[in-house]
Amino acid sequence: MQVRALAASLIAACLVVATNGLRAEPSPGTADRIAALIASGELADADTVVGEWLDRATRSAEPLAIAEASHSLGTLRVAQRRFAEAERAFDTARQQYTSAGTLVASSRGLGRVWRDLGSLYWTTGRTADISSAYLEAARAFAAAGLVHDQAGALRSSIYGQAYRTGQEKRAVLLEALALLAGRPDQVASHRYVRGALLHDLGDRMFAEGRYADAHAVYGAADGLLAPDEENRRAYSLLLTSRARLLRAQGQPARAIAQYDRALVLQQATRYDHGLSQTLNAMAVAQGTLGQRAQAVASLEQALAVAQRLDAAWRVAVARLNLAEARLAAGARTAALAEFSRYEADASRATLGPGYRLQEIPLLLAASRMNEALDVATLVLAGNASTEGMRELRARALMARAEVHERLGDTARARRDLDEARDVWEAVRASLEPSDFVRRGFAEMMATDFYASYVDGLADTAAPAASLAAAELARTRAFVDLLAQRVLTDGLPEATPVDGTAVPEATTSLTEIEGRLLGSAGAVSGPPVDAALESARRVTPLTVTQMQRLVEAEGVISLVYWVGATRTLLWILEPATPVALHVIEAGAPQLARLVRRSTEAQDGGALRRLDALLLAPAARALARTPRLLVVPHGPLNRLSFATVRDARGRYLVERASVRYLPSLTSLETIRGRQGAASTTRRALVVGVPNAAPRPSGGVPLPALPGVRREAAAVRSALTARGTDAETLVGAGATESAVRAALTGGRHDVVHLAAHGVVSDRDPMASWLAFSGGGAASADDGRLTAAEVYGLHLDADLVVLSACRGADGPVSGDGVTGLTRAFLAAGSRSVLASLWTLPDTTAPQLLSGFYARWRDVPAAEGTAQDKAEALRHAQRRLLAALRGGRVSVDTRLGPMPLAEHPLLWGGLIVVGDR
């Protein structure tokens, strides 16, 4: 049936769906008794009853009686794992139903027998026969007028080999939905089969990389398959599919939680087929998280279940997965032994291309290079003619590139990796339009693909090529989120530097699928931050555009990429080709040095960081003492201003430093907001005593220096022509701060309060205010998730809070409060990587404002924020060195040392 011809009937469809075990009308009498005995495990008693029934039916010579008894015998033999006998019994039943003529009862019975034969073929791995059996079932059910069963049989037919493309399978699923839509009087009875059809339609979309569409369809199926006593098996499979979607979009931890739910249902219903599928899938997510031992344990259990099922192809799959997991866990000998057992299994010949792809790392481990190359090429040849399956193609290209690399053919390896990059970008374009999903995908791609891709280009291509790849990889979700605010605020659309329009989010849905999805209803159970819509996709800057940006800014840019064993540094400066330096220190070593750099008197770590990270740029730094740093990995937690050279000079004494998540993010920030505000109005908030408590229940300590800081900041601003609104103490409630922030009335927002950063759930990070009502809008906690919902038009937000610039570091950069305020509409954020001491914070911040706003108010402009911060830090550093900063003790005033913890934590992120 043509897809377009289904439109009229599907528009009216109520969307619902079923399960692997579609429910049939019970046969009367003996058949019901036998089914009950089989269900309760009383197989010997069932054998006796079925034998007696078959004897009576044979003596009667009535075709329908013989057919029904033979059908029950076949069902029993399946339960007994006597599959050859089951097939013979089903064949006898089929022949007898056929000889009974065209009676409704015989057509109904014939359909059930064909359906059970299809299930038997699926269980025993006879994929060539599955589709024909289910299509015969559909014809018989159609003759009997059983629309519900006809739709179910059509749905099951897609698991065989009759359909070569995803489009053909989608057409069958849509045809089945159309059949059900034609019987609106039977909506309730069609609920489960409709749910199963939507589940399978979502699986097809997933296979084609259409993740957003799959998410919507799974949501519709969820509402129809929510488990009841008879439907838990079907719902468990839907949970497994939804978990797989989470994993594919970079959310393995959330995927495992869904897999756990599925396993509970499958164990409760003794659903071994489902257990086998879910355990294999869970192991993939566990491996992604580095939980190697847990992955091996899951696959050992999956192998035991497959052996219990006596399903040869499932045993082969479990062996292959187990071999791969053992290899990843470092057990090479055990892995290759399991792989040998897999290779000896004849049923592996029936496995699809995705499983063949898993053979490659094992062949490489066995030094069978040419065989590995043959497998990769075979998978790609088959995939090239198959609609969809983009993720499979990308991974096959990556695998073949690795083989080429090992064989010394770097040119072919580069071509495969370039194509894999293009495929992954196409997959990214189809992601769900949420920041949560895109951040997860960015993290997965940063570790799974781009880490090796960027590193490989650094060795084989010009510096510009590897720089372009690194920019393509970093903070893409954040840039998209910035661009999305253009739409929600009604501002001009973001465009790249070259002026080309940012492509709209597109979908490849047919008209009929669009109507289907449009009727699907709400999706249940999104994560907390899934509601952050991010439908825009911004094109990253080209290297030429990056060079223009650096020239226009009058800065040099240091762009870092931290790998496992080494770090790449690109240096961009005006009118100079891009330079690439390889730093022989990877993420573990740099993370240790960054941690040590904040420890008391550990100048050695700061000097070592200078030698590694800044020495390669010494000449450029001497020419242009203004740095624009794009950090990566553990360097997101480093205050570069505190790095100290061999002569003992801090970087702040040599240059100013400003930070960006990516160079593209600067253009997006400017494109969405335009020129800096000239309103010269500030909001200054100080919270010395916060009401809410962290989850542990311990009250937050008082911040006695906050009042002094707020007064100093207000004085510095008003003295230079800025009207400052102040909320301090009891008046600084969350609701009051929200009201003051609404409408973009302030170009400067200064927040001096406790900040609580959640590394586990960055969207739950919060700023603590006064009050503390019951409603979330005034509970005293302004969370990062709530900040994203604000609509600011600020030139600067200052987070004078604990770790305001910190947060979990992922493939999409730092996810925390700074990111939230930039996304909410601030052009820049001044925040600290660690807690600002009360003793020095007022002097540092008032000095910053005095320098930044030290121009006539009529000019409506301000100096460079990074330069202003450098000036304030140098003045404080000089005061510390001169013994002019002290704390009161019982022994009298005690001068403070010049340690970076007292002055170096603040950083400027964003526009100048």
Q: What is the DSSP letter of 388?
A: S
Q: Enumerate the H helices of 208-271 as residue ranges.
A: 211-225, 232-248, 252-268
Residue 24 has pLDDT above 80, yes or no: no
Percent of residues, the chain, with pLDDT higher than 70: 79
d(CA 905, CA 147): 69
The pLDDT score that the predictor gives to residue 182 is 73
Residue 529 has pLDDT above 70, yes or no: no
- Of the candidates 741, 716, 717, which has an alpha carbon nearest to the alpha carbon of residue 727? 741
The pLDDT score that the predictor gives to residue 856 is 47
- Which residues 6+ apart lie within 8 Å of 515 measured at CB? 7, 10, 11
> 521-526 contacts: CB < 8 A, separation 24 or more?
521/15, 521/219, 521/220, 521/223, 522/219, 523/215, 523/216, 523/218, 523/219, 523/220, 523/222, 524/219, 524/222, 524/223, 525/222, 526/434
- Which of 49-63, 97-111, 654-668 is least confident? 97-111
The pLDDT score that the predictor gives to residue 187 is 58
- Which residues 6+ apart lie within 8 Å of 704 measured at CB? 688, 838
For the chain, what is the mean pLDDT?
80
Mean pLDDT of 718-727: 85
Which pair of structure tokens corresponds to residue 826? 């601030």
**% helix, strand, coil for the chain, step of 5:** 60, 10, 30
Beta bridge partners of 768: 781
Question: What is the SS3 assignment for 684?
Answer: strand
- Which of 336-345, 509-518, 801-810 is least confident? 509-518
Residue type, 260: D
The pLDDT score that the predictor gives to residue 433 is 52
Percent of residues, the chain, with pLDDT higher than 90: 36
- Which residues 6+ apart lie within 8 Å of 124 measured at CB? 83, 311, 312
Instruction: Give phi and psi for 162, each to the nearest 5.
Output: -75, -25
The pLDDT score that the predictor gives to residue 385 is 41
Q: Enumerate the H helices of 650-770 as residue ranges.
A: 663-673, 705-718, 734-741
The three-state (H, E, C) secondary structure of 825-854, written as one string: CCCEEEEECCCCCCCCHHHHHHHHHHHHCC
Q: How far is CA 794 from CA 105, 294, 675, 803, 850, in A?
A: 75, 48, 11, 21, 18
Instruction: Give phi and psi for 782, each to the nearest 5.
Output: -95, 100
Give whichever of 297-311, 448-462, 605-619 has the largest mean pLDDT: 605-619
pLDDT band at 602 (very low <50, low <70, confident <90, very high): low
Mean pLDDT of 229-234: 82
The pLDDT score that the predictor gives to residue 597 is 86
Mean pLDDT of 599-625: 88
d(CA 630, CA 739): 34
The pLDDT score that the predictor gives to residue 703 is 82
Residue 664 has pLDDT above 90, yes or no: no
Contact at 8 Å (CB) between 900 and 598?
A: yes
Mean pLDDT of 583-590: 94
d(CA 213, CA 215): 5
Mean pLDDT of 552-575: 93
The pLDDT score that the predictor gives to residue 641 is 96
Tens-place pLDDT, residues 129-160: 999 999 999 999 998 888 889 998 998 898 88
Beta bridge partners of 766: 756, 783
Order of all β-strands in the sheet with 681-686: 579-583, 567-572, 556-562, 626-630, 656-659, 906-910, 828-832, 796-800, 748-752, 681-686, 723-728
pLDDT band at 696 (very low <50, low <70, confident <90, very high): low
- Which of 75-79, 285-289, 309-313, 870-874 is least confident? 309-313
d(CA 886, CA 879): 10
The pLDDT score that the predictor gives to residue 774 is 55
Which pair of structure tokens corresponds to residue 81? 């794992």
Task: For 560-626, give the DSSP string.
Answer: EEE-SS-EEEEEE-TTS--EEEEES--HHHHHHHHHHHTSTT-HHHHHHHIIIIIGGGHHHHHH--E
pLDDT band at 26 (very low <50, low <70, confident <90, very high): very low
Question: What is the SS3 assignment for 755?
Answer: strand
Mean pLDDT of 767-790: 76
- Which of 199-203, 210-214, 261-265, 888-892 is least confident? 210-214
The pLDDT score that the predictor gives to residue 797 is 92
